[in-house]
Structure 1
Amino acid sequence: MNNPLTVKINDHLTYIGVNDRYTHLFEGMWPLPDGISYNSYLLDGKDQVCLLDCVKIPSVDEFLENIYSVLGDRDIDYVVVNHMEPDHTSSLPVLVERFPNIKIIGNKKTKDFLDHFYDLTENILVVKDGEEVAIGNTSLTFYTTPMVHWPESMVAFEKSTGTLFSQDAFGGYGTLDGAIFDDEINFDFYKDETIRYYTNIVGKYSGQVVRALDKLKDLDIKTICPDHGIVWRKNPGIIVDLYAKLAKQETENGVLVVYGSMYGHTEKMAEMIARSMAEEGISNIRIRNISEYPLSNLIAESWRYRGILLGCPTYNVGLFPPMANFVATLTKQKMKNHTLGYFSSYSWGGGAEKEFAAFAEKCGWDLLETTPNVQGSPKKEDIEECMKLGREMAAALKEAYPDQYK
């Protein structure tokens, strides 16, 4: 049966993934305005067939239709579980029911998860790091990539075609809207969502990503097949380079100003600080209202820019609650290579400034000297303090990026 939604990648590999336009929050918290894809692949080794990763259970009917349209009445010999997260495995019990002779390939940690998640304990082939498994007239070699981004995570490599099945690595948010391959799309259209995906899902494990990239660097990779997003068959180096940059936390010249404000006083401070930076020649400035701008996007932009300025009023002797949540998130993200400034306001008693100071000590970023803390509406001397903070940030950026200010 001809199914245009299954796409040939090469003579023996077919894309059989699905698009998810029904889930609004990935992992229950990250917005999906453009949806997401769950990628799955059928590898035909003539005598044997191997499925690489599955899809989320609500899409199982479409998934099975794709499988049968490619296989007909043939059986599936193996299914590789590169990553146990349910968006890739919740349809696995249905697959095992439909193909009772199928063997599940995973590592030792995968086997434990299969039992606890789905009560699957039979027909499991446990592979070790670097182990090769024959799939008919081809083979797959498995490499463990722990904490990219679960402990059992691994990738599979088909040497004969140079195809890397990379699970969540090299993926991104967004459905595949007609196009499947990198040479069929304008990557600039997808890039921001790829960066947001990395910073939201994988970012806190960047040390492990660096180690995984180093482990895979000697493979002759010609095609990358991730579990989300674009299949890279023409220029896989683009996504590898982007992930390497993100993992090394190479920040850009620019400033993210994140503020919270109940009655406009802290917002005025943010505007003044931004104006003073612009007067000093800083052109990349983003101001975000923490009460309105999604946390997911704030994380991505924090990862991107060298300068981070945080400001909010005192609320119940502490940080304004949305800012407190953001600061806690930044602490967990373990970001590096930033210059930090903070500013605060209060009505009758402070507290926010103390929690900002504690965060500054914990995160270890370069801290600017001036820390305005204003009672009520900013007065003349407060305005000068805010402008001074902006000038200090501008000076720090000029020192960090001297070639861009000649």
Structure 2
Amino acid sequence: MHKQIKENIHFIGVLDREIEVFDVVMETEFGTSYNSYLIKGKEKNAIVETVKDRFFDEYLNNINELVGGIENIDYVIMDHTEPDHAGSLEKLLELNPNIEVVGSRAAILYLKDITNMEFKSRVVKQNDTLSLGDKTFRFISAPFLHWPDSIYTYLEEDNTLFTCDSFGCHYAHDGIFISELDAKEQIDFIFALKYYFNAIFSPFKKFLLQAVAKIETLDIDIIAPGHGPVFDVKSEAQQIINFYQSWAEDYNQHVDYETMNGRTEKPYDKLVVIPYSTSYGYTETMAMKIVEGIKSFEEDIEVKLYNLNVKNFGDLKAEIMEHIFFADSVLFGSTTINKDATPVIWDIATAMNPIVHNGKICTAFGSFGWSGEGVDFIFERLKSLGMKMIPALKLKFKPSEEQYNELIQYGKMVAESIFAKESKFEQYESGNGIICKKK
């Protein structure tokens, strides 16, 4: 299947309706597309991105129908080299070794390892250009969206921006264009769009804002991403840029699925998330006293407490991770069972990663009976992620009245660290557990 976007600009990608999981971490409820574009110039022809290798035969047929054979392709521009976009490049080069591959320095290096072959290449930098005779590509450096290799490609005469993964989503649609979605499909699409942003781009908000700043002066009629529908209406192209910008600015974006209009709402000014599991209520008591201390220091700090077990965890995990994304501090509470932390607490700890959550103020706390390793293991996990760590807090069995006050003081110091953005603690032994005091 191929479809004209503008004169001499054609969609030559493929749809994958059978895919259920993408990149291990994403469900693909609506399938996906691997978007590739063919641009015919007076002197040269170029392809932007390729498709996943298992769709090569269909892909090659699309090319042949438009230009009469792969020998008539002069350039392949790779805005990003992940194999769902670069998967067919090796076969294209085998059929036509004269193709010149265009990309960032990182992209060319990656492609040599992906294809395991030498090929003609051109490294491009910010504002470099490439002419097809009557059409001019201008390249925009956009690293870490979402690999170090990524660039955007702007076709100047046609006001068309090729962005690969940016502004895309996993959504397969026969119509190709955003303007061809009906009302129900628009609802599904915007859901897929936000899900894709959260999964792929939320770790790279800083780089996304830098890229948006580089394209804000461009006259953009069309955005042609690497997955999902092409934004063929100028207002829709601008709207998707606005969506991405607001999502990247650490705001919760609430979308009216009926109108596709977004409104931004600033998240909590200061937020502490406390997921915990408790066997006999002792760890829960610790959590409550810590919260009491946080609130006594600053009442306006929002605290989200989650008492987790195997029955309720599945329903709560998504909500917890969303709050953790925006949290200033995350305190993990776990009892120790069989010399380890509980599985539900491990699940959340392993769902955190150093790109998304780096720098949050974190610790682990909990009650134990005869060993107490659970708190230590969670603490070390968080430390390895590059969090700003508060020393672990653990008590043996039930907190005493004396320790209630120490727990409250601990909570106050957690709150103080949020405002100071640094740990205010040192460890010391106290009674039957480890507690902390202010430096």
TMscore range, shorter length: 0.7 to 0.9
- Kept in 1, the 8 Å contact 2:331–2:363? The answer is yes
- Kept in 1, the 8 Å contact 2:223–2:231? The answer is yes
Kindly indicate whether residue 89 of structure 2 is the aligned counterpart of residue 92 of structure 1: yes
Larger mean CA deviation between 42-51 and 68-77 belongs to 68-77
Q: What does residue 333 of structure 1 align with? A: 355
Q: Which has the larger radius of gyration?
A: 2
Relative to structure 1, the CA distance from residue 350 to residue 287 in structure 2 (aligned partners, 3 Å threshold; closer, same or farther) is closer
- Kept in 1, the 8 Å contact 2:33–2:172? The answer is yes
Residue 142 (structure 2) aligned to one of 145, 148, 154: 145
Q: What does residue 345 of structure 2 align with? A: 323
Kindly indicate whether residue 106 of structure 2 is the aligned counterpart of residue 101 of structure 1: no
Relative to structure 1, the CA distance from residue 297 to residue 11 in structure 2 (aligned partners, 3 Å threshold; closer, same or farther) is farther
User: Offset at 1:338?
Assistant: 8.4
Q: What letter is aligned with 2:226? A: D
- Kept in 2, the 8 Å contact 1:38–1:55? The answer is yes
User: Offset at 1:167?
Assistant: 1.4
Residue 123 (structure 1) aligned to one of 120, 124, 146: 120
Residue 25 (structure 1) aligned to one of 14, 21, 40: 21
How many Å separate the matches in 1 of 2:251 and 2:306? 18
Q: Deviations over 1:334-387 (max 9, x none)?
A: 34898989886766654555666774996459x9xxx999969xxxxxxxxxxx
- Kept in 1, the 8 Å contact 2:364–2:376? The answer is no
Relative to structure 1, the CA distance from residue 135 to residue 295 in structure 2 (aligned partners, 3 Å threshold; closer, same or farther) is farther
Q: What is the 5 A alignment of 1:1-400? A: 3=1, 6-73=2-69, 75-172=72-169, 174-185=170-181, 186=183, 187-233=186-232, 234-251=235-252, 253=267, 292=314, 299=321, 302-303=324-325, 312-321=334-343, 323-335=345-357, 350-352=372-374, 359=382, 363=387
How many Å separate the matches in 1 of 2:349 and 2:86? 33
How many Å separate the matches in 2 of 1:128 and 1:70? 30
Give the SS at the match of 2:65. helix
Q: What does residue 380 of structure 1 align with? A: none
Give the SS at the match of 2:227. coil
Q: What letter is aligned with 1:314? A: T
Relative to structure 1, the CA distance from residue 103 to residue 221 in structure 2 (aligned partners, 3 Å threshold; closer, same or farther) is same
Q: What letter is aligned with 1:333? A: I
Q: How many residues align?
A: 385
- Kept in 1, the 8 Å contact 2:4–2:10? The answer is yes
- Kept in 2, the 8 Å contact 1:168–1:227? The answer is yes
Q: What letter is aligned with 1:55? A: V
Give the SS at the match of 1:333. coil
How many Å separate the matches in 2 of 1:98 and 1:288? 57
Unaligned runs of at least 5 residues, structure 1: 273-281, 377-406
- Kept in 1, the 8 Å contact 2:278–2:335? The answer is yes
How many Å separate the matches in 2 of 1:237 and 1:112? 33
Unaligned runs of at least 5 residues, structure 2: 253-265, 289-301, 399-439
Q: Which protein, 1 or 2, shows the higher relative CO under an 8 Å CA cutoff with sep ≥ 6?
A: 1
Relative to structure 1, the CA distance from residue 296 to residue 89 in structure 2 (aligned partners, 3 Å threshold; closer, same or farther) is farther
User: What is the Cα-based RMSD across aligned positions, in Å?
Assistant: 4.8
Larger mean CA deviation between 220-229 and 312-321 belongs to 312-321
User: Offset at 1:81?
Assistant: 0.9
Relative to structure 1, the CA distance from residue 176 to residue 23 in structure 2 (aligned partners, 3 Å threshold; closer, same or farther) is closer
- Kept in 2, the 8 Å contact 1:51–1:79? The answer is yes
Q: What letter is aligned with 2:128? A: E
Relative to structure 1, the CA distance from residue 97 to residue 296 in structure 2 (aligned partners, 3 Å threshold; closer, same or farther) is farther
How many Å separate the matches in 1 of 2:176 and 2:274? 36
Identity of aligned residues (%): 25
User: Offset at 1:116?
Assistant: 1.8
Q: What letter is aligned with 2:202? A: G
How many Å separate the matches in 2 of 1:344 and 1:120? 55
